[in-house]
């Protein structure tokens, strides 16, 4: 480490895995070669070159031209669902999807002027058509998510009241809460317009499209959504500052859900923490998460998670959208492409090329 911290740079790299970094050019590429002293079975590939490409379209073109062999990832930074569906139909490349692995949701910031209203947050949950998003944007490649975590996630088989899609229910809730229609179509309460800012990663075309659908859904019930696409680092910095009304959230997936993801809710640098700050029971929720992290009794652990999920669900901090999958698109000659438990791991060690096709 330089000056005692990794953020200042590192002087050398050390590890015990099957690969070692042999060449690196910042923002261009990294080359990994076999670690000859690896204690386990050696990889079949001689080396891996990891290219940095600016956007999903460039990645797709590079794959189609044979300049790269694999695109692998869990979100729309790599390839949109439209592109995946097109490739599945063309059969020119191999396309694989993992089982549902993480949760995609929208954060509603409880400490902002408009979204601090719990009834308005509930109305938003009823106004968003997640089925239409799953079908029209995600091409049925992801399942609509009725709750933040799927019921097969450990400790998350909890009975929660589902927010069914109902624009009329949303309108009724807003009327009851005093958010009344005005001449310009935007609801208003005590001089405050029902107008919110939705920030997303501009490099993620899929996030943009989902945001546009949500913008249209909320316009139908009198809530104006202003969309802001930002560079990824600015988007991440905004999470840390809490300077947003609506923003995307993606859980960490197996094996980190729910324990590690819940634990991150207590960290101010995370958007989840910032979005929950306006809750009157935020301190209690954080304390329960801390208790869960050290509790050894399984029944007590289950009870703690149930209480946490009920509190967050009933507060409508999250609008669940879908359960995401990891996607892999590769040249047909590349074999052994599979998925690990974690969405963050790529099993390069199991991959190989058919005889005579090694680049």
Q: What is the pLDDT of residues 89-129, one digit of tens each?
A: 888 899 999 999 999 999 999 999 999 999 999 999 999 99
Residues 63 and 156 in one domain: no
pLDDT at 205: 79
pLDDT at 13: 72
Average pLDDT over residues 6-17: 76
Q: What is the pTM of this model?
A: 0.88
Question: Given pLDDT bands bounded at 50, 70 and 90, which one contains residue 74?
Answer: confident
Q: Which domain holds residue 261?
A: 102-324
Is 90 inside a domain boundary? yes
Average pLDDT over residues 191-215: 93
pLDDT at 56: 79
Average pLDDT over residues 18-42: 92
Question: Given pLDDT bands bounded at 50, 70 and 90, which one contains residue 223?
Answer: very high
Burial class (CB in 10 A: 0-12, 13-18, 19+), 195: middle
pLDDT at 92: 86
Give percent above pLDDT 90 in the chain. Answer: 75
Which residue matches tokens 């997936």? 253
Residues 169 and 92 in one domain: no
Residues 53 and 73 in one domain: yes
Residues 72 and 128 in one domain: no
Average pLDDT over residues 40-54: 91
Residues 92 and 116 in one domain: no
Is 228 inside a domain boundary? yes
Question: Given pLDDT bands bounded at 50, 70 and 90, which one contains residue 78?
Answer: confident
Q: End-to-end CA distance of the chain, in Å?
A: 35
Residues 343 and 307 in one domain: no
CA gap 267, 273 in Å, rounded = 6
pLDDT at 356: 53
Average pLDDT over residues 187-197: 97
Contact indicator for 22, 47 with CB cutoff of 8 Å: yes
Is 195 inside a domain boundary? yes
Residues 74 and 117 in one domain: no
CA gap 268, 264 in Å, rounded = 9
Is 292 inside a domain boundary? yes
pLDDT at 358: 58
Number of domains in the chain: 2
Q: What is the CATH number of the domain that holds 84?
A: 3.40.190.10
More confident residue, 300 or 87: 300
Helix axis angle for 167-176 and 118-127, nearest 10°, is 170
Alpha-helix residue ranges (DSSP H) falling in the chain: 56-64, 81-90, 118-127, 130-132, 167-176, 205-219, 232-241, 259-264, 271-276, 282-294, 298-315
Residues 277 and 220 in one domain: yes
Residues 70 and 181 in one domain: no
Question: Given pLDDT bands bounded at 50, 70 and 90, which one contains residue 1?
Answer: low
CB atoms within 10 A of CB 36: 7
Question: Given pLDDT bands bounded at 50, 70 and 90, which one contains residue 359?
Answer: low
């Amino acid at each position: 480490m330089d000056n005692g911290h990794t953020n200042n740079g590192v002087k050398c790299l050390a590890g015990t895995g099957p690969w070692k970094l042999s060449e690196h050019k910042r923002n261009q590429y990294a080359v990994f070669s076999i670690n000859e002293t690896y204690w386990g079975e050696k990889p079949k590939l001689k080396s891996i070159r990891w290219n940095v490409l600016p956007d999903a379209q460039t990645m797709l073109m590079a794959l189609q031209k044979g300049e790269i062999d694999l695109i692998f990832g869990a979100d729309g930074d790599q390839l949109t669902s439209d592109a995946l569906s097109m490739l599945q139909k063309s059969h020119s490349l191999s396309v694989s999807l993992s089982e549902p692995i993480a949760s995609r949701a929208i954060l509603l910031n409880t400490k902002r002027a408009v979204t601090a209203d719990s009834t308005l947050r509930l109305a938003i949950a009823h106004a968003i058509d997640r089925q239409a998003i799953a079908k029209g944007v995600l091409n049925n490649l992801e399942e609509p998510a009725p709750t933040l975590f799927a019921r097969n996630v450990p400790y998350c088989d909890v009975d929660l009241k589902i927010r069914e899609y109902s624009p009329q229910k949303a309108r009724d809730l807003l009327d009851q809460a005093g958010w009344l229609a005005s001449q310009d179509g935007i609801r208003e309460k005590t001089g405050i317009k029902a107008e919110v800012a939705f920030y997303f990663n501009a490099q993620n075309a899929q996030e943009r499209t989902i945001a546009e659908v949500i913008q249209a859904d909320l316009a139908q019930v009198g809530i104006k959504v202003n969309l802001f696409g930002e560079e990824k680092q600015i988007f991440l910095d905004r999470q840390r500052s809490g300077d947003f009304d609506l923003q995307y959230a993606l859980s960490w997936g197996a094996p980190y859900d729910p324990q590690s993801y819940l634990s991150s809710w207590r960290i101010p640098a995370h958007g989840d923490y910032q979005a929950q700050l306006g809750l009157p029971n935020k301190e209690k929720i954080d304390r329960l998460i801390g208790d869960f992290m050290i509790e050894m009794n399984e029944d007590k652990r289950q009870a703690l998670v149930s209480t946490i999920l009920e509190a967050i669900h009933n507060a409508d901090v999250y609008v669940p959208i879908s359960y995401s999958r990891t996607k892999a698109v590769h040249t047909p000659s590349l074999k052994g492409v599979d998925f690990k438990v974690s969405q963050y791991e790529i099993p390069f060690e199991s991959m190989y090329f058919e005889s005579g096709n090694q680049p």
